[in-house]
Amino acid sequence: MKGQLNWFTGGIALGLAFLLAVWVVKPIGVSTQFVILDGIVWDLVSDDVVKEDPKTKSGYASSNAYLNKSGGKYAKNVANPANYSFIFVLSMIFGTFLSRMTKGPVPTQADQIAPTVWRNRFGDESYKRYLAVFAGGFLVLLGARLAGGCTSGHMMSGMMQTSLSGYLFAFGAFGAAVPMAVILFGRK
């Protein structure tokens, strides 16, 4: 597509982003912040989800076992959304916007609802695409949380550090995604 980097320049740029992050702060990860946003919304509608608790390592505790794990570190981030990881993920949206406004690739109106490969296979109705991506998003984040990370945290950051977990994750993810994509969309 017009405005897109070739694989070599793009690969180097991608590598630089992951390297800079670990150099300055820590490895990039995204999927945890879906939990933090859920926690923030949950905390708005319920009083006892996250509480200050001086007895825990983070100083916060939660009635939810997942937010409470590792000494309440997720609970702490829910209570303080202006933390590094959450702001990092929100800033990504601005980064894409900036790229689009500075001669980066621009998707067509139709592409903004469904990519060509989808429309060729399943047609133009937007509700079908939205149902599929909602289900897809559900599975992706459920799987990412069970795995403890997603493509950026486990695969890119993990394999960069030669972490065993990055390889285990990549085998699982590509092992399922390749046959699934071939079944759904064919090879042609």
Partner 1 sequence: MNIISALCLGTLFGFVLHRVGATNPHLIIDMLRLKDFHLAKAILLGIAFASSLLFIGMATGMIDPGHLSVKSSYWGVPLGGVILGIGWALAGYCPGTAVAALGEGRKDGAVFVLGGLAGAFAYMLVFAKIKNTFLMDKISGGKVTLAQTESSYDALIQGVPGIIVALAFAMVFALIAWKMPKSEES
Rounded to an integer, what distance in angstroms lies between the CA atom of residue 104 and that of residue 12? 17
Q: Which of these, 95, 72, 105, lies nearest to 21 by C-alpha position?
A: 95
Residues numbered 78 to 117 that lie near partner 1 (CB under 8 A) are: 82-100, 104-107, 111-117
47 binds partner 1 (CB under 8 A): no
Q: Which of these, 71, 72, 1, 77, lies nearest to 34 by C-alpha position?
A: 77
Q: Which is nearer to partner 1, 52 or 98 (CB)?
A: 98
Q: Nearest approach, Cβ of 55 to partner 1 (angstroms)?
A: 20
Q: Nearest approach, Cβ of 110 to partner 1 (angstroms)?
A: 11
- Could you give the count of Cα atoms lying within 13 Å of 13 in the half-sphere of its Cβ? 7
Q: For partner 1, which residue of 57, 70, 125, 181 counts as binding (CB under 8 A)?
A: 181
Q: Which is nearer to partner 1, 12 or 54 (CB)?
A: 12
Q: Which is nearer to partner 1, 54 or 91 (CB)?
A: 91
Neighbours of 161 (CB within 10 A): 12
